[in-house]
Amino acid sequence: MQHTFVAYVEDKPGVLTRVASLFRRLNINISSVTVGGSERPNISRMTLVADAPPAAGHRIMASLYKLENVIQVDDVGRFSSVSRELALIKVATTPKTRSHIFELANVFRARVVDLAPGSLMIEITGSESKIEGLLQVLNENEDRVLEISRTGRMVMRRGHHTSRVLEALGDVESQNGAASLPTGEALPEEDEIGDYTNESGLPHQKT
């Protein structure tokens, strides 16, 4: 089963190693990890995606909390959430194929961010399945895709149950993912296309 964790960690040297090493020790492959800034100063936010048996979720979370640099962990896969990934895709073009690729990009609400003789670069944001969808049609012509760079998944729970709110409420249980599903508003996914199932198995709420 695919587990998705969001972890708030201290923005210090070596923290990524500690988190990664924990998964390594458990012999669990991290399928994607994204790290960047968060709403708190000097605190980074990580989204970790890993395949592991269902029961491993508790142990992974409990082990993450044993790391001194980890401040908060949320097993977001168990909640209604928004999941996004960004990809840059460089595609080989000829004067003949260029406009066709523009059309494909448009259908997927992707943007062309670089245009050069012989190639162009597409930026696409969305769920993994949407990016897979674009890649699938681009790959119909085998030699067309030259480079792909994907960020991996970033996830945020829906509704107002932000980490800061939970912390202020002292609501440790739902921070830890033990509470029932929060009732976030069902916001439309403006740029969704293709498969509407997110990785946690919960359906996206679409308009």
Partner 1 sequence: MSNVDRKARLTGAEIIWATLEGEGVREVFGYPGGAILPAYDALRKFPIRHILVRHEQSAAHMADGYARASGRVGVAVATSGPGATNMVTGIATAMLDSIPIVCITGQVGSKVLGTDAFQEVDITGITLPVTKHNYVVTHAEDIAPVLRDAFRVANSGRPGPVLVDITKDAQQATAEFDFAAAASEKLRDHPMLSVSEQGIAEAAELISTAKRPLILAGHGIIHSGAMSQVRALAERAQIPVACTLLGLGSFPASHKLNLGMMGMHGESWVNHSIQEADLLIACGMRFDDRVTGSLATYAPKAKKIHIDIDPSEINKNVAVQVSLMGDLATVLDQLLPRIRTRDAAAWLHSIDQMKGDAAVRDIKNLPDNGHLYAAHVINDLWHATSGDALITTDVGQHQMWEAQYYKHEQPRTLITSGGLGTMGFALPAAIGAKIACPSKEVWAIAGDGGFQMTCPELATIVQEKLDINIAIINNGYLGMIRQWQETFYEKNYECSPIFSPDFVKLAEAFGIRAAAVTTRAEVMSAVETARSHKGPFLINFMVEQEDTVYPMIVPGAALHEMIRRPSSNPLIETASDV
Residues of this chain that interact with partner 1 (CB under 8 A) are 13-14, 17-18, 21, 25, 55, 58-59, 61-63, 65-68, 72-73, 172-173, 175-176
Report in angstroms how near the CB of residue 51 gets to partner 1 at its nearest: 19
Q: What does the alpha-carbon distance between residue 88 and residue 124 come to, in Å, rounded to a whole number?
A: 7
Report in angstroms how near the CB of residue 74 gets to partner 1 at its nearest: 11
Report in angstroms how near the CB of residue 65 gets to partner 1 at its nearest: 5
- Shorter beta-carbon distance to partner 1: residue 62 or 107: 62
- Shorter beta-carbon distance to partner 1: residue 78 or 144: 78
- Cβ atoms of residues 4 and 47 within 8 Å: yes
Half-sphere exposure of 43 (CA within 13 A, CB side): 16
Please give the structure tokens belonging to residue 76.
């977001």
- Shorter beta-carbon distance to partner 1: residue 68 or 190: 68
Report in angstroms how near the CB of residue 88 gets to partner 1 at its nearest: 31
- Shorter beta-carbon distance to partner 1: residue 65 or 196: 65
Q: What does the alpha-carbon distance between residue 137 and residue 133 come to, in Å, rounded to a whole number?
A: 7
- Shorter beta-carbon distance to partner 1: residue 73 or 131: 73
- Shorter beta-carbon distance to partner 1: residue 13 or 95: 13
Q: What does the alpha-carbon distance between residue 57 and residue 201 come to, in Å, rounded to a whole number?
A: 15
Report in angstroms how near the CB of residue 9 gets to partner 1 at its nearest: 13
Report in angstroms how near the CB of residue 202 gets to partner 1 at its nearest: 23
How many other C-beta atoms can be found within 10 angstroms of the C-beta atom of residue 199?
A: 19
